[in-house]
Structure 1
Amino acid sequence: MIIGVGLDNVQTKRMQEMLLKWAERVEDRVFTEDELNYSRSKGEPHFHLAARFAAKEAFFKALGKGLREGMSWTNVNILNDELGKPYITLQGRARELADSMEVEKIHLSLTHTD
């Protein structure tokens, strides 16, 4: 059974501007260490961080909860497997809510555009 579908789009330029203005604040509040390390290992980190931001937004929309009910941005971790395929891991309140809604699988696709 499909619980929900979420879609979000973030302009990479906007993410780049946010990082230039508020790098530490945005990085600490929104991204996990794993996400930051992965993105920093790439040529243009803001492309990868924008995609992760959009994926988190889409997840919250699919769950129908937004950032309500005690969830935080860092409860959702967007990673890549050894072949580069993105996937989501959940921690804390996001994991609890997903479990209570009997979420068994999360499908994820990322794209980067200017």
Structure 2
Amino acid sequence: MIYGIGTDICDVRRIRASLERHGDRFALKILSDLEFKTWKARSARWPERGVRYLATRFSAKEAFSKAVGLGMRMPMTWRLCEIGKELSGKPVIVLHGELKEWFDSQGLRAHVSVTDESDYAASFCVVETA
């Protein structure tokens, strides 16, 4: 049964402006340690790809927070929610710490989809009861 649905659209230009203002500090606030390493590698090879990577992660985490009904309040935090991917490339939600404990105790399962095009990144998340 569906527990919640969340969607988000993110203006990539806004993410770029935040990076220009705050640099790595902004990315460190949003990304898990593993995501941060990926972001740094992508940014080094192609800066625009790094910006889009950060925008899709921002958008997916917003969509997830809406689907679980917590918004950005404990136990939901940017860094405890990670957007990983399966070998096939399919995006997956990976949770850590208190957020993982809360999510598992609720018996929930999440599905996420992310996309980006030019100036926008968008995400859709469905959370269901197991």
Q: What TM-score do the two structures reach when normalised by structure 1?
A: 0.89
| More strand per residue | 2
- Specify the SS of the correspondent of 2:99: helix
Structure 1 match to 2:67: 62
1:73-101, Cα deviation, whole Å (9 max, x unpaired): 10001112222221110011211221232
1:14-48, Cα deviation, whole Å (9 max, x unpaired): 11111111122212211012212223333320101
Matched, 1:110 2:114: yes
Matched, 1:95 2:105: no
Aligned residue runs from structure 1 range 1-114, under 5 A: 1-42=1-42, 43=46, 44-103=49-108, 105-113=109-117, 114=119
Q: Distance in 1 between matches of 2:101 and 2:33?
A: 21
Gap regions ≥5 residues in structure 1: none
Q: Distance in 1 between matches of 2:9 and 2:56?
A: 8
Give the C-alpha shift of residue 107 in structure 1: 0.8
Question: Match of 2:39, as an amino acid?
Answer: S
Q: Distance in 2 between matches of 1:41 and 1:21?
A: 20
Gap regions ≥5 residues in structure 2: 120-130
Q: How has the CA–CA distance of structure 1 residues 41 and 65 changed in structure 2, closer, same or farther, with 3 Å as cutoff?
A: same
Which has the bigger relative contact order, CA under 8 A and spacing at least 6? 2
Question: Match of 1:6, as an amino acid?
Answer: G
Aligned length: 113
How much identity, in percent, do the aligned residues show? 35
CA RMSD of aligned residues (A): 1.5
Q: Distance in 2 between matches of 1:38 and 1:24?
A: 13
